[in-house]
Amino acid sequence: MYQNWEELEKSIINCNKCKLCRGRTNIVFGTGNKDAELMFIGEGPGADEDRQGEPFVGRAGKLMNMAFDIVGIKREEVYIANIVKCRPPKNRNPEKDEAQACINYLRNQVVLVNPKVIVLLGSVALKNILGEEYQITKARGNWVEKKKILYMPTWHPAALLRDESKKIDFIKDLKQVVEKLQKI
| Radius of gyration of the chain from its Cα atoms, rounded to whole angstroms | 15
β-bridge partners, 57: none
Q: In degrees, to the nearest 5, what angle opens at C-alpha 179 toward C-alphas 139 and 71?
A: 90
**What is the distance of C-alpha 24 from the center of its chain?**
18
Q: What's the mean pLDDT when you consider all of the chain?
A: 96
What's phi and psi for 41, nearest 5 deg?
-125, 120
Non-local CB neighbours of 69 within 8 Å, separated by 6+ positions: none
Alpha-carbon distance 45 to 40, whole Å?
13
Encode pLDDT of 22-73 as tens digits.
Answer: 999 999 999 999 999 999 999 999 999 999 999 999 999 999 999 999 999 9
Q: Which CATH number fits domain 5-183: 3.30.43.10, 3.40.470.10, 3.40.50.1820, 3.40.47.10?
A: 3.40.470.10
Encode pLDDT of 140-164 as tens digits.
Answer: 999 999 999 999 999 999 999 999 9
Prediction pTM value: 0.96
